[in-house]
Amino acid sequence: MSEPSHRIFTTRSDFVEALRHGLELSAEKGCREMWWCDSDYADWPLSEPAVLDALTRWCLPHRRLVMVAQTYDEVRHSHSRFVQWRTRFSHVLDARQYGEDGDETQEVLPTLMLAPTVVTVRLFDKQVWRGSVSYERADEIRARDLVDAIAQRSTPSFASTTLGL
């Protein structure tokens, strides 16, 4: 029996598992790009060895990962392994900031992972951890339109190295 083309999840552990599964599929199928969007990535499993392994298998010189966040403070604080990975694989990662740090008037970013032609993971409500995993083209197109609009209103951020003076 094949997997359904769309499924709903309702727990934090299901969300984290959907992200892990999406990264594994991306590494396995070799999509050219991934788009990640979250206000701070606090709930993502970015420093897990299996996640970093999947990212490492996925990233080749012609691949591109675009991350958009309102702040990268939580990534720097809680995901040190990912920060190290980011330094090593800066050639594939385009980290962008949406709005200014501490800008309370800015709209909240959606939480999603888009791997075109592979999977779309979207968290609709962080309070109850309601979201979806979709392999449908229509969901991919909607997510792509959303992240394109957000990326256009963002600026480069989260440098891979820091120059000292």
* Token pair listed for 32: 């050219």
In terms of Cα–Cα distance, which of 5, 60, 1, 2 is closest to 27? Answer: 60
Q: What is the pLDDT along the chain (165 residues), one digit of tens a residue?
A: 456 799 999 999 999 999 999 999 999 998 999 999 999 999 999 999 999 999 999 998 899 999 999 999 999 999 999 999 999 998 899 999 997 654 544 567 899 999 999 999 999 999 999 999 999 999 999 999 999 999 999 988 887 665 544
In the chain, where the domains are located? 11-156
Dist. CA 77–CA 135, nearest whole Å: 33
Dist. CA 116–CA 128, nearest whole Å: 27
Assign 78 to helix, strand or coil: helix
**Whether the model pTM is above 0.85:** yes
Pick the CATH number of 11-156 from 3.40.190.10, 3.40.50.300, 3.30.870.10, 3.30.70.580: 3.30.870.10
